[in-house]
Amino acid sequence: MPTVEVQNLFKEYSGRQVLKDITFSVQSGEFFVLVGPNGAGKTTLLRILDMLEEPTSGKVLFDGELVDYSTKEKTVLRRKSGMVFQQTILFNMSVSDNVAYPLKIRGESNIEQKVKTVLELVQLKGFERKNALTLSGGEAQRVALAQALVTEPELLLLDEPTANIDPRNISIIEEVLSSTNREKRTTIIMATHNMFQAENLAHRVALINNGEIEEIGKFQEIFGRPSKPVKNFTRFENVFSGQSTASTEDTSIIDIGDGVQIEAAFKKSGYVMIHVSPEDIILSTHPIVSSARNIFQGNITQILEMESAVKLKVKVRENKNFTVQITKKSFKEMQLSIGSRIFLAFKASSVQII
């Protein structure tokens, strides 16, 4: 019996269809990954599966039981699942107290041992007494993961769990997820736009775009052939290809030609195709002092004003251009125009393999 079944699911906000006729099932013990660009509907779908939001129409079944979003019975079902959000929310207390919190509100016993075990799993032994709000972004995300795992959920939901954190923490989180799925047979549904992550972790992948699931299958079945939905999905801005060389720091250097090298938060050698979201690029009219691994200088060659933002095409080499998206307010404040010299920066974790 599938752990999760979604049937003809629709979600509407103020007349706008965010999810459109979503249907799929996830088997017990499966690692199922939702792949799609920002705004595709991944987060909304996960929030519905976590029973934080109610669908406009359609059905969700958990272990064959229909979820009734209008009753308190959903709380019983929700206790069988854990959720890790992209934006970590922790309490102003110790790491141990944060992880113990869901056990305490459930009235569980042997809390201290359970917390100790899960902190060792996420490699945070020795962090027990540290205030959770003093941790780095990657460490905080590991606390959030421990918080979700400490109740030993049957279903684990994750929304971009490694977005914008460093390579070491990404590696730890991926290993924890893989081992939890493999050893405990925990069913996992994860949303990501990291194709490398999907390829390494997923049993099956669902390609979601504009609120619709366009394809479902094994990673190679979907991305190993040039179907129309896949072509549409990979027709991103800032797509580059080149030779990748894995470094000793859990990163890779990709030579995309014209003397331009991009550092990425994954280890892979050989030919790769990568994507950098225009929203992930920081723009400045002055040299950037940043921890970001990728910093370039260029000139604006095109300006496209949209309804709520401005897209700029920036030439950093003769045949190498980046598209950057900024707010209209930032565009006006920086007084940008065609030919303006600007500086770009983006993190290694913003580089996604496709």
Q: Does domain 239-353 have CATH number 2.40.50.100?
A: yes
pLDDT band at 255 (very low <50, low <70, confident <90, very high): very high
The pLDDT of residue 300 is above 60? yes
d(CA 192, CA 210): 15
Cα separation, 188 vs 113, whole angstroms: 24
Q: Which CATH architecture has domain 2-233?
A: 3-Layer(aba) Sandwich (3.40)
pLDDT at 331: 92
Residue 60 has pLDDT above 90, yes or no: yes
Give the model confidence (pLDDT) of 32-53 as tens digits: 999 887 778 999 999 999 999 9
Mean model confidence pLDDT for the chain: 90
Task: Name the pairing type of β-strands 2-13 and 341-346.
Answer: unpaired
End-to-end CA distance of the chain: 33
Please answer whether residues 338 and 301 qualify as being in contact, where contact means their C-beta atoms are separated by less than 8 angstroms.
yes
Tell me which of 319 and 215 has the higher pLDDT. 215
- pLDDT for 19 equals 97
Give me the residue spans of the domains in the chain.
Answer: 2-233, 239-353
**Least confident range of 59-63, 137-141, 223-227:** 223-227
Whether the full predicted model's pTM is greater than 0.85, yes or no, is no
Residue pair 274/239 in contact (Cβ under 8 Å)? The answer is: yes
d(CA 313, CA 327): 14
47 exposure class (CB count in 10 Å sphere: 0-12, 13-18, 19+): middle
Domains 2-233 and 239-353 share a fold: no
